Every structure is written in C-alpha cells, then in structure tokens.
C-alpha cells in the first residue's frame, strides 16, 4: 500500500486531474502533474507541474524517480509514455487497458468478443471497407474516428455509401468505425472502482442527457427498471474483470425502446457522469482513483442523496459573467469551477450538483438554477 505522505503522479492537466489532485491532497498525498500547458487547471493545484510534452524523456525520468505511482486523466497519452513509466513504478490503470479503451476499433471488438452487446459496427481502415459495411448496416450510421474523438468530435453522420466515402475523405482516411444509429430510449452510465486485488465498488446507474454530443445532465438514481440497472452493472463488471482493470472505469450504455442494453464506449478514468459523487456519495470517484492507485480498497459508493449534475459550458459566458449569486441561494446546490481562463462554446468550464429528497425534485432545482444564472436572462430584481 502507498500511504499518505507519498507523492502521486498524474498525466494530463485538465479538470479531471484537478479534481484528482484535490482528493489526493485531502487524503494527505502530494501530487506531481505532467502537462505541456502552462495554465493547466491541474498544474495550478499540484505540488509540482512538470511543464513538458508527454514523451519528454527528462520529465518522464523525473516523474519515475519522484513519484510512488502514476495515473492518467485522459486516455490519449502516448502508449510509449505509459510503457516507460510502467517499467519503473505502478501505473494504474495499466497500458493494456488504456490501449483498449483509447481505440474504438479495439474497444468495440473487445466488447463484442466478450459476448456483450454493442450497436452493429464495422472497422473501416480503407475505402474498400466502406461498400460492404454500408451494405450490411441499416442506415443512417455514424462514421467515427478510431482515436481522439470525444464530446461528439471526430464523427460524421451518413445515409449512404457516397456520403460515407466523402466523410472518410473528410476524416483524412484515418481508421474509423462505421456504426449503425440505434433508436434510443435512454443513455446510461456505470462508474466503478476496481482495486489491484479485484475488489470492486459500483456507483448507482446514472441517466444521462446529451446536447450536441456533450453531456448536459446526469440524474441519479436514473429512471430505469431495477433489472436494467442490475444488467448494466453486471456488464460493466464483466469488462473490468476481463481487463484485470485497476482504477476508476466508466461504461456508457444505450437503452433501446425494445429494452436492449448496448455498450457505447468506456473511459479508463473518472467520468463526467460521475461528478455528482463528489457531493452526493460517501466516496467520490476521485477518492476512488487515489485509493485504487495506491493499492487501497475502494471506499463505499453509497448514495447519500438523490442528485442531478449539470455541466457548465463556455457559452454561458457569452453575455457576461454568470450570476452565481442565484446558485448560492439554493442551499442544496454545490458549484465546481475548473479554473480555466478562456470560456469557449462547448468547453467544460465547471459543473454544479443539486441534491434533494428525490431525483425529480433535484432536476427541478437544477433547471431553476440553469435559468437563474444565465446572464442573458432578465433579472427579476
């Protein structure tokens, strides 16, 4: 076990690394971050900011010698970086699990080979793959880059072979998957923590709403039958166990109108849909990340209050500074801002979590807050 007083490393300086650092500090650990951005949200909080590229040999040597263990806050860290560090100290989750989750072709194939359901898909590595794929799928479909796609980026909707060919050109013929669009009843997610010895803690299933490909709200507990929630948790655990995973893992699901539960994708890290756990659970997903990194058992994921988490995007600043006073007037709402200097449309600037006796009431509070903090809205005063 790695106990408080030790130094932990994190690769990546965004908001997930920032919240990991806050959790680690509260537990008595020091944190070093490797990130090339001089204004990274994590770098402002960490005990040391190694401002360098992820493949910088000197920075990696320093991290390997100065840290007791290393984790990541995003999956697109170069594989060589993880392998270099893994040869010298614990890296959790490990490079093999991250390699699966970072590449849609490997990820979808791995899930399918486990016998778990996904939307119908085909790997596209050349233009020759498009015709048989389009002939086999029911249109419309989505052409998605195999790597580096998130929040709706790197994907193009298509209705026929000609559009698929044009889209593949637009994506620079990079490896992709062509995935059939399925009718959705709901989007769900399961966040879990798994320790190095296989002990697990699974959070309640969240019900997610996306707007323009970006998560807008997560409602916990979700409005789903118990049998569906149980099945989602079982499928997520099957994935984690098959990878011998150590860390926090998020698995996103599609629920179809006929009751099919399909795995959409997984993230080898804390997840946006698990942010409510900071305020509404006994152990946050970021404390779980610290615990699993340090060889400690997972904490209890028990939900202390029904909750709704709302993302705060940069568009909110278009008409001026958000009116935070109205949020703070709600006694059961917590605000988390990420310390980003520039507010841009689509950029995640923070989130807030509303808690109440039931999730429906929490949602009503969340929507009331959303309207009140908008600087473009008329002021009742």
**Helix%, strand%, coil% for the chain, nearest 5:** 35, 25, 40
The contacts of residue 203 (CB under 8 Å, 6+ apart) are: 190, 191, 192, 220, 274, 277, 281, 285, 301, 303
Q: Where are the alpha helices (DSSP H) in the chain?
A: 15-26, 57-66, 79-86, 95-102, 104-113, 130-136, 161-170, 226-242, 277-280, 285-293, 324-328, 359-373
pLDDT in tens, 75-86: 888 889 999 999
124 within 8 A of 165, measured Cβ to Cβ: no
Which CATH number is 186-373's, of 3.30.70.120, 3.30.470.20, 3.40.50.720, 3.40.190.10?
3.30.470.20
Give mean pLDDT, residues 318-333.
Answer: 96
pLDDT of residue 98: 92
Instruction: State the pLDDT confidence band at 378, using cuts at 50, 70 and 90.
Output: confident
Mean pLDDT, residues 167-180: 92
Read off the pLDDT of each residue in 113-120 and give the average, rounded to a whole number: 96
Q: Which pTM was predicted?
A: 0.94
The model's pLDDT over 28-39, given as tens digits with 9 standing for 90+, comes to 999 999 999 999
Contact between 158 and 140 under an 8 Å Cβ cutoff? The reply is yes
Rounded CA gap, 112 and 17, in Å?
Answer: 31
Element (H, E) at 35: none
Residue 380 has a pLDDT of 60
Give the start-to-end residue ranges of the domains of the chain.
7-91, 120-180, 186-373
Q: Where are the alpha helices (DSSP H) in 115-217?
A: 130-136, 161-170
Place 149 in a pLDDT band, splitting at 50, 70 and 90.
Answer: low
pLDDT at 336: 98
| CATH architecture observed for domain 120-180 | 2-Layer Sandwich (3.30)
Tell me the residue length of the chain.
381
Residue 147: predicted pLDDT? 83
- pLDDT of amino acid 150: 58
Is the CB of residue 253 less than 8 Å from the CB of residue 264? Answer: yes
Residue 152 pLDDT grade (very low, low, confident, very high; cuts 50, 70, 90) = low
Rg (CA), the chain: 21
Q: Beta strand 176-180 with 214-220: parallel, antiparallel or unpaired?
A: unpaired
What pLDDT, in 10s, does the model give residues 272-295?
Answer: 999 999 999 999 999 999 999 999
> Using CA atoms, how far apart are residues 123 and 277, in angstroms rounded to an integer?
35
Quote the CA–CA distance of 378 and 335 in Å, as a whole number.
22
Tokens of 133: 């794929």
- Scan for tokens 């992709």, then name that residue: 176
Whether the pLDDT of residue 151 is over 60: the answer is no
| Mean confidence (pLDDT) of the chain | 95
Chain center to CA of 156: 21
CA torsion 110→265→39→293, rounded to 10°?
-60
State the average pLDDT over residues 343-365.
Answer: 96
CATH 3.40.50.20 fits 7-91, yes or no: yes
Q: What is the mean pLDDT of residues 263-280?
A: 97
């Amino acid at each position: 076990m790695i106990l408080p007083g030790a130094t932990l490393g994190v690769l990546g300086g965004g908001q997930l690394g920032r919240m990991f650092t806050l959790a680690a500090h509260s537990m008595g650990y020091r944190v070093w971050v490797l990130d090339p951005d001089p204004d990274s949200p994590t770098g402002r909080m960490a005990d040391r900011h190694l401002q360098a590229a992820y493949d910088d040999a000197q920075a990696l040597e320093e991290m390997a010698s100065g840290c007791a263990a290393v984790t990541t806050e995003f999956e697109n860290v170069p594989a060589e970086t993880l392998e270099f560090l893994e040869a010298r100290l614990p890296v959790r989750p490990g490079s093999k699990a991250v390699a699966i989750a970072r590449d849609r072709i490997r990820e979808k194939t791995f899930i399918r080979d486990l016998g778990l359901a996904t939307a119908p898909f085909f790997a596209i590595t050349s233009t020759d793959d498009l015709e048989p794929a389009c002939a086999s799928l029911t249109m419309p479909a989505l052409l998605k880059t195999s790597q580096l796609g998130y929040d709706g980026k790197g994907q193009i909707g298509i209705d026929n072979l000609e559009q698929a060919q044009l889209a593949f050109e637009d994506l620079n013929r990079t490896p992709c998957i062509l995935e059939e669009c399925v009718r959705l009843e709901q989007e769900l997610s399961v966040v879990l923590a798994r320790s190095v010895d296989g002990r697990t803690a699974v959070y309640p299933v969240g019900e997610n709403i996306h707007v323009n490909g970006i998560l807008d709200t997560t409602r916990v507990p979700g409005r789903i039958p118990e049998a569906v929630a149980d099945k989602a948790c079982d499928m997520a655990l099957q994935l984690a166990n098959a990878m011998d995973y150590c860390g926090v893992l998020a698995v996103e699901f599609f629920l179809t109108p006929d009751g099919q539960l399909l795995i959409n994708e997984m993230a080898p890290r804390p997840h946006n849909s698990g942010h409510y756990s900071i305020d509404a659970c006994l152990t946050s997903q970021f404390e779980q990340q610290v615990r699993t990194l340090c060889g400690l058992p997972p904490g209890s994921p028990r939900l202390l209050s029904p909750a709704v988490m709302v993302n705060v995007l940069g568009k909110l600043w278009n008409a001026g500074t958000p009116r935070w006073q109205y949020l703070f007037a709600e006694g059961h709402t917590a605000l988390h801002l990420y310390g980003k200097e520039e507010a841009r449309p689509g950029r995640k600037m923070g989130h807030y979590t509303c808690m109440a006796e039931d999730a429906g009431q929490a949602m009503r509070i969340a929507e009331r807050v959303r309207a009140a903090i908008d600087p473009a809205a008329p002021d009742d005063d």
